[in-house]
Amino acid sequence: MNSLYPDYDVIVVGAGHAGSEAAGAASELGAKTLLITMDLDSIAKMSCNPAIGGVAKGQLVREIDALGGLMGIVADKSGVQYRVLNTSKGPAMWSPRCQSDRALYSKTMRQELEKKENLYFRQDNVVDVLTTEDGKRATGVRTKTGQEFKADSVILTTGTFGNGLIHIGDTNFGGGRSGERASIGISAALEDLGFEVGRLKTGTPPRIDGRSINYEKLDVQYGDQEPHAFSFMTEFLPTREEQLTCWIGQTNEEVHDMLRSGFDRSPMFNGTIESTGPRYCPSIEDKINRFSDKDSHQLFLEPEGWDTYEMYLNGFSTSLPEDVQYKALRTIPGFEDAVMLRPGYAIEYDYFPPYQIRRSMETKITDGLFFAGQINGTTGYEEAACQGLMAGINAARKSQGDDEFILKRSEAYIGVLIDDLITKGTEEPYRMFTSRAEHRILLRQDNADLRLTELGHKIGLASDERFEKFKIKKEAIDEIHDLVADYTVYPEKMDPMLKERGTSKLNQPVKAKSLIPRPELSIFNILEADPELKEKALEITTDELVYEQVEIQIKYSGYIEKEFEMVEEMKKQEDTLIPDELNYDKINSLSSEGREKMEKVRPETLGQASRISGVTPSDISVLMVYLNN
C-alpha cells in the first residue's frame, strides 16, 4: 500500500531507554526520525527499579552523557537521592547511582525528546519490518493499524514486549510489562528474514504502600552529604537534607519458609518458565533455593517518587503466587502490616542472540536494520540506553553516508559491552560489571568527559556549549597539574599537616606533586597547608572535580601508564580488519571449533576474533598470517 505519511531517515521502534536514546541521538545528528511506541505516555518508563546507575552502570551513564546523550541529564532532573558506591575502593570502582522519581523521569525524558527539531512521534504497534524482496535491506515498518512508514534505517528496541508473557504463580498472560500489552508479530517477521530467536526472563518485586511500614524496624539509608551529578552539564542537585530516604530490611528463616510453601506453584520450579533469568539479580525464591545456607537476605525499600507513598522492595523480585507473596511479605520485620499495591511478577520475552549484530548495532543479515537493548539479551536501563545511543548515532550516519562510529574496549565501557555481546554472546540477561573491563583504571566514571566529549562533539552529538565547558575544565586540569608539579613546598609549612595525617615529615623542600601519591593525603590537605599554593590554585579554578581529577591522575599514574602500554600492545590486533566476505573454510590450519565459531560470529577485527570463546591463540596466529598474505 502507499503510505499516507512522509518518508524518514530513521525509524525507532519502541520508546524505552534504548529507544529514547536512539531517537534523541539520530534526530540531534540531523536525521529525520520517527519514534513509534505503543504508548506515548510511557516513554522511558522505569518498569522495574526506579533508579539509575550503580556498579559499572554509573560509568555507562556518564559515558552516555559525555557523548551528548540524554540519560544523565534526565536522571539529574528527576533524582530523589544520590549516592556514589564503592568509595572505600579505588577510583576505578567508584560508581554513581541515584534513586529516581519514576513518573518524573518518564515525563522529563519526553520533554527532552520533544525539544528535538527532527524528531516525530507516533503511537502505534509495529508488527512487521519492511525490506527489499531479498530481505537484504530494511526499508521501513508496518503497523497494526495497517500503515506503512518508510525509512533508510530501522532501529528495533522492543524491550520485554516481544511476545512478552507475564507470570504470577499459576497465572500467566500476554504483556510487555504490568498493565501493558505485548508486541506480537515482530519476532515472526525477523525469523522469516533468517534471524535466530531465543527467550529470556526477568522479574520485578511487589510494590508497597509506604504508610503501612514500621520504619523503626528498618535501618535508614541516606544519600551522600555532597551529591554527585551524572551529567557533566548539571550544576545543582538537591542537598542531602532535601533528598528522600531509603531503608534497609532483612529476611529471616520464617520468611524463607513462607516462600518455600509456594514453590510447588512457582513457575520458576514447576517447569512453566523454561527461559533463563538474570544471574546477578535473581528472584527471592531463586536466592533462598540457591543459597540455602544463608538465613537472611538484605532488602532495600526505595521511594518511587517525590509525590507518592508507593515504595519499591528491591531484592524481593518474585513470580510466586500472589497469596504467597503477601504472606511472606508480612513476615518480614517491619512489614507486618504491609499493604501490597501491586504483586511481583516474572516476564518471558523474545531476544535475538547478539552474534547477529555488528559493532555499529546494525544487523549482519539485513542492511539498515539495527537492534538495541533487551532485544540483544541485556538487562538494565543503562545497558539498553548505551546501545540505543550507538544505534541512533550509526543509523543517522548511515543515512548521511558517513562512516560507522565505533567505541573500542579501551575507550569506553560502552565498547566493552557491545564487544562482549557480539564475541561472547549471552544465554542469560547480560549485566555490566567493572570486572568485565580489563582497562577499567582508564575507564573511570570521573574521566568519561575527558575520554569521550571531544569524540561526541566531532560527530555532532555533544553541543558546542558542552564542548566549551569541557575545554575549560581540561585546561584547568592541565594548569593545576603544572602548578603542583612546579611549586616547591617546605617542611615548616607541611610538617604539622603531615604529622596530623599520620605520614612521615619532610627532610627537605620538595615539589607539591611528590606528596600527592601518599595514601594518607589528598591534594586538598596540601593546599590547606600552604596558603600561597592554595591562592595560586584558586586563581585557576574553584571546581573541586578538577582537583579530584589531578589527584587521581597523579596517585595512579603508574597504573595508568601500564594500562596505556597494554592498549598500545593490543592496538595492532584491534585495528586489523577482517573482510566481511572472508571464507574461513579456505583457511585449512584453523581448528574446527575456531572455524565454526568465527563463521558464526563473523568478527570485524583480529582483536575481536581473539575474544571469541573456543578460538585459540593458534587460530589467531593462523588468521593473522592469512590476512597478511
Question: Whole-model pTM?
Answer: 0.94
pLDDT of residue 1: 47
Task: Give me the mean pLDDT over the 491-496 stretch.
Answer: 95
CATH architecture of the domain with residue range 8-205+349-459? 3-Layer(bba) Sandwich (3.50)
- Decide if pLDDT at 363 tops 80: yes
Contacts of residue 183, defined as CB under 8 A and 6 or more positions apart, other chains included, come to 38, 125, 126, 127, 158, 161, 162, 163, 164, 176
**For the segment 374-426, what is each residue's pLDDT rounded down to a tens digit?**
999 999 999 999 999 999 999 999 999 999 999 999 999 999 999 999 999 88
Q: In angstroms, rounded to a whole number, what is the distance separating the alpha carbons of residues 37 and 334? A: 40
Task: Give me the mean pLDDT over the 506-530 stretch.
Answer: 96
Picking from 405, 417, 493, 487, the residue whose alpha carbon sits closest to that of residue 452 is 405
Q: Higher confidence at residue 218 or residue 294?
A: 218
Q: What is the dihedral of CA 74, 67, 362, 126, to 10 degrees?
A: 20
Q: What fold is seen in the domain 207-345?
A: Elongation Factor Tu (Ef-tu); domain 3 (2.40.30)
pLDDT of residue 179: 63
Q: Where are the domains of the chain?
A: 8-205+349-459, 207-345, 464-559, 576-628
**For the segment 151-202, what is each residue's pLDDT rounded down to a tens digit?**
999 999 998 777 878 888 787 777 665 666 666 778 888 999 999 999 998 8
Are the folds of 8-205+349-459 and 207-345 the same? no
CATH number of this structure's domain 576-628: 1.10.150.570
Give me the sign of the Cα torsion angle 70, 73, 77, 82: positive
Picking from 105, 149, 98, 90, the residue whose alpha carbon sits closest to that of residue 123 is 149
Phi then psi dihedrals of residue 389, to 5 deg: -60, -50
**For the segment 321-346, what is each residue's pLDDT rounded down to a tens digit?**
999 999 999 999 999 999 999 999 98
pLDDT of residue 180: 61
pLDDT of residue 392: 98
Task: Give me the mean pLDDT over the 288-301 stretch.
Answer: 89
Residue corresponding to grid cell 583457511: 587
**For the segment 83-140, what is each residue's pLDDT rounded down to a tens digit?**
999 999 999 999 999 999 999 999 999 999 999 999 999 999 999 999 999 989 999 9
* Burial group, residue 626, by CB count within 10 angstroms (0-12, 13-18, 19+): middle
**Cα 305 to chain center, whole Å?**
21
CATH architecture of the domain with residue range 464-559? Orthogonal Bundle (1.10)
**Cα 625 to chain center, whole Å?**
37
Percent of the chain with pLDDT over 90: 75
Q: In angstroms, rounded to a whole number, what is the distance separating the alpha carbons of residues 283 and 622? A: 45
